[in-house]
Structure 1
């Protein structure tokens, strides 16, 4: 019974925190025979990915405007990119016409 009591009162070490980096154990000797982990090289940097996503978003918006104005509406496809078209639309919304 004393053994049960001793095992219950022993302090257990908390589980090791999982990290992405491997922690080298100092007590283990280092060997060079083990394969080195794969290093991921980014071909496209993150800042360039952000710029590409923004440009693709703008292209999608412009294509949507052109298709909506020329196919669904009765306007010319090039008129959607003119400022006069948008000024007329804003005047209608604000009640100036």
Structure 2
């Protein structure tokens, strides 16, 4: 019987395969948080403009969110 011509040790993966593996792991780790943030932004924009009958640009205005914070946490009688 002839011995196979395969090397017995493990060969190092090429640099391109390592980079591809790192990129793929990064995509797998970041896809859920990115989709959650995108869903939050779309939900805020639709809710504020469709349900609230306000301009969509006001969703991203900091004064709007300060006003909402003051309404929620206001000390009232």
Shared fold per TM-score greater than 0.5? yes
Q: Which residue of 2 aligns with 1:47?
A: 26
TM-superposed CA distance for 1:76, in Å, is 0.7
TM-superposed CA distance for 1:92, in Å, is 0.6
Note the aligned Cα RMSD (angstroms). Answer: 2.3
TM-score, normalised by the number of residues in structure 2 = 0.62
TM-score, normalised by the number of residues in structure 1 = 0.50
Pick one of 62, 73, 81 that aligns with 2:52: 73
Structure 2, unmatched stretches of 5+, are 5-20
Distance 1:84 1:73, change over 3 A: same
Structure 1, unmatched stretches of 5+, are 1-31, 33-41
RCO higher in structure (CA 8 A, sep ≥6): 2
**Distance (Å, rounded) in 2 between the aligned partners of 1:75 and 1:50:** 35
Q: Which residue of 2 aligns with 1:28?
A: none
Stretches of 4+ moved more than 6 A in 1?
Answer: none
User: Which is helix-richer, 1 or 2?
Assistant: 2
1:90 is the counterpart of 2:69: yes
